[in-house]
A and B are shown apart, each in its own frame.
Chain A
Amino acid sequence: DAKTTQPNSMESNEEEPVHLPCNHSTISGTDYIHWYRQLPSQGPEYVIHGLTSNVNNRMASLAIAEDRKSSTLILHRATLRDAAVYYCILRPYSGAGSYQLTFGKGTKLSVIP
């Protein structure tokens, strides 16, 4: 399985931007980079995904390095509701690995009021 490496924890002040890094040096050409987050006492929630180009949606932005060996999830203004564990996952476009999401331990984001 393609692996990702994330810091165990990060802190951010409320209303400031947050940059959550992820390293994936063994990424293959057909792997999409997915981000999910898990709020306390809830199931994981899809955040964003991308292949090569930077992506934006209403929740976050995803910046992907040119060599695709790393990516950064950007929360533009952290709120207390963004405190969660954030998972960076590599997911093949098709085939068996496309449905079997492999979660690591993720990054626990704390937001300070």
Chain B
Amino acid sequence: DTGVSQNPRHKITKRGQNVTFRCDPISEHNRLYWYRQTLGQGPEFLTYFQNEAQLEKSRLLSDRFSAERPKGSFSTLEIQRTEQGDSAMYLCASSARDSSPLHFGNGTRLTVT
């Protein structure tokens, strides 16, 4: 079990630029989740994949955000035209089944200047 891997760990970008984050889940897990966490708050759900299908998206996921999971393996989260309010920790998690515990990565910390 190599765990959930997220890259990069840190990203600093200027307002208006596009950024993309990658998540590699635990290999046998077909469920994948993205969460966002701001300072002092608990993680907030963004979106959920079962294999390659994106089954749920939060209202937090504006039109500038897009997530993909081609071939049901790794996933990417892209933010277009970043804003300062997008600064947060973006967490990825995976699980084997809907009722199984989630395994989280250590996140990508985004800073928009």
A residues in contact (CB < 8 Å) with B:
32, 34, 36, 41-46, 49, 85, 87, 91, 93-94, 96, 98-106
Contact = CB atoms under 8 A, between A and B. Distances in A.
Nearest to A47: B101
Given A43-B4, A44-B43, A105-B41, A98 B101 contact: no
Main secondary structure, interface of A, reads loop
B4 A49 contact: no
B48 interface: yes
Contacts of B93: 43-44
Interface in B69-107: 91, 93, 95, 98-99, 101-107
B99 A98 contact: yes
Instruction: Say which size band chain B's interface belongs to.
Output: 20 to 34
B42 A105 contact: yes
B45 interface: yes
A41 B105 CA distance: 11
B33 interface: yes
A103 B43 contact: yes
27 contacts: A36-B102, A42-B106, A42-B107, A43-B4, A43-B104, A43-B106, A44-B102, A45-B104, A46-B101, A49-B101, A91-B99, A94-B98, A96-B56, A98-B98, A99-B31, A99-B48, A99-B56, A99-B95, A100-B48, A100-B56, A101-B43, A101-B45, A101-B102, A103-B42, A103-B44, A105-B40, A105-B42
